[in-house]
Structure 1
Amino acid sequence: MDLKFGLKLWSINTDLIDEAIALIDEKIFYYIELFVIPETDVFPFLFDVPYIIHIPHHKFKVNIGDSSLKEYNLHKIDESIEWADKLNAKFLILHSGHGSMKDAKDILYEIDDKRILIENMPKVGLDNEDMIGYSPGQIEELLDIRDFGMCLDFGHAVKAALSLGVDYKEFVQEFMKLEPRVFHISDGKLNYEKDEHLGIGFGEYDIDFFMRSVKRRHHNMVTVETPRATQKSLAEDVENVEKIYDMTKQSFKGD
């Protein structure tokens, strides 16, 4: 199955949308994963291109693991669902957050949208939070609440494996049994347990292993979550896709 790479944009990146559409027309990318920043407008993105919506996360006070934020969480999730409706988005991605597993389950019971995908987390947050959904078992519990799907962030899985002291490739394969529908790819170090999204080739992850894992499954949407030195161009995103192809060309030779 051919890989379909997605371009990550935030809803403040209105000046990049024309370049993004051109890259989709050129089939370098196949969809846009749009992170909804609160108090921004959907209007600049109303183009007939494939979208996935990423719901705001804890940096914008959306954290399903905190019952004190329940009303705010539901409001922001509903806003993202409205964006998804207007953009005809295939999926919405929701972080599993940090704090209480019970609180996370309680709020998920109130969300009824089959497009929702729950994204796995590292075990330890950037500010030393106790994250939720860092293991296949925890993610499965959350998915089963309303038959949600999963977004597998390979980097988050690696970081959780490092925290747990287990082989990250075996850990990823356990997540793959949950049939993720979307994947996130970036690079990172193998001696640091907290989240980092390095450019492809700037870390130590086995990118070829990740892509071979995707190719064996039914779903092939892979969002490239790598940094940009400038927010005025998508050239680095294109370079990261080219690096992925270079790292995997022997595995996929003849496909």
Structure 2
Amino acid sequence: MSYKIGLKLWSLNENYISPAKELFERGVYDYIELYAVPNSLDMIAKWKSLARNCGVKFAIHAPHFSSGLDFSNPNKLNYNLNLCEEVKIYSNELEALYTIFHPGIGGELLESIRQMKMIKDLKFAIENKPYIVPMEGGTAFCVGADFDSIKRILDEVGCDFCLDAGHALCSANFQGLNPYEYIAKLNELNPRIYHISDNNVESKFDAHLHFGDGNIELDRVLSLLVGGEFLAIETIKDSKENLDDFIKDSNYLKNIIANFNDKAL
């Protein structure tokens, strides 16, 4: 079992540049997955400087619904495509290992597919979603929250797949499925990228808890995430000054992986 371990940051997180450099040089993680906040292109130079200073590689996570990008909304087509152009700049300037999009929230699968087909000159992956997400006044349904929807997107758009284990667990709980069996089924779609965090194993809502703060059987999850290359840790950040909590999460994950590899010898 072997993955490149990713640190998730946002493009506006200038406060983490120094600790990110230190932790990369210590071997705590292998690359940064950077969420490209809209209208933050002026930050690219700072991240490129980090790459030059220590050699760290980047992947890009495109803005999603909370930042306004929603491929399932036909009224947002021009806005969505404009944000995609910003994402292309981030991906090209930082020579991204991969680029991820979410399919959308509240709209139709066919509209998401239609709009994603309009993204030109950018190889990207699509990420599976929880079935529902909390919204003001209630909840909303996500596009790409079930196996058939993800498979259809992959087949029709021709993109890569990012399997988010936490999202899969939440979706399985909403659908009344065994979450571990559902994660294994999604892995049949040959994801190149994985996302992982902890949660209440019975939750229908994503939480991004630190490893050990929930009760997901993370060793069991990792045993199912077979074949992909990248594993981004998507746990919350407790401090704006340091990444000490990420060190703990990274070590927690690496210990599980090391135990697997020891047993395989």
Aligned partner of 1:221: which letter? F
The runs of at least 4 consecutive aligned structure 1 residues that moved more than 4 Å come to none
The C-alpha deviation readout for 1:162-194, integer Å capped at 9, x for no partner, is: 000011111011110111111111000123211
Q: 1:50 and 1:246 mapped to 2: Cα distance?
A: 23
- Aligned residue for 1:130? 141
Q: 1:115 and 1:158 mapped to 2: Cα distance?
A: 27
The 5 Å alignment of 1:106-185 reads 106-113=114-121, 115-127=123-135, 128-185=139-196
The C-alpha deviation readout for 1:61-117, integer Å capped at 9, x for no partner, is: 111111111110111011111111000002111011112112101101101345211
Correspondence for 1:78 among 81, 85, 98: 85
The 3-state SS of whatever aligns with 1:52 is: strand
1:210 aligns with 2:227: no
CA contact (8 A) 1:114 1:147 kept: no
1:234 aligns with 2:243: yes
Q: 1:211 and 1:194 mapped to 2: Cα distance?
A: 20
- Aligned residue for 1:45? 47
CA contact (8 A) 2:88 2:122 kept: no
Correspondence for 1:101 among 109, 114, 117: 109
The 5 Å alignment of 1:186-225 reads 186-214=197-225, 216-217=226-227, 219-225=228-234
Q: Which of the pair is proportionally richer in helix?
A: 2
Q: 2:173 and 2:121 mapped to 1: Cα distance?
A: 33
Any unmatched runs of 5+ in structure 2?
A: none
Q: 2:192 and 2:17 mapped to 1: Cα distance?
A: 24
Aligned partner of 2:75: which letter? S
The 3-state SS of whatever aligns with 1:172 is: helix
| TM-score, with structure 2 as normaliser | 0.91
The 3-state SS of whatever aligns with 2:152 is: helix
Correspondence for 1:65 among 52, 72, 87: 72
Number of equivalent positions: 253
CA contact (8 A) 2:170 2:202 kept: no
Any unmatched runs of 5+ in structure 1?
A: none
Q: 1:126 and 1:224 mapped to 2: Cα distance?
A: 22
* Structure 1 residue 34: Cα displacement: 0.3
Aligned partner of 1:55: which letter? A
| TM-score, with structure 1 as normaliser | 0.94
Q: CA RMSD in A?
A: 1.5
- Aligned residue for 2:260? 251
Q: 2:2 and 2:257 mapped to 1: Cα distance?
A: 12
Percent identity of equivalent pairs? 27
Q: 2:241 and 2:39 mapped to 1: Cα distance?
A: 21
- Aligned residue for 2:21? 21
Q: 1:142 and 1:67 mapped to 2: Cα distance?
A: 17
Q: Structure 1 residues 115 and 26, CA, compared in 2 at 3 Å: closer, same or farther?
A: farther
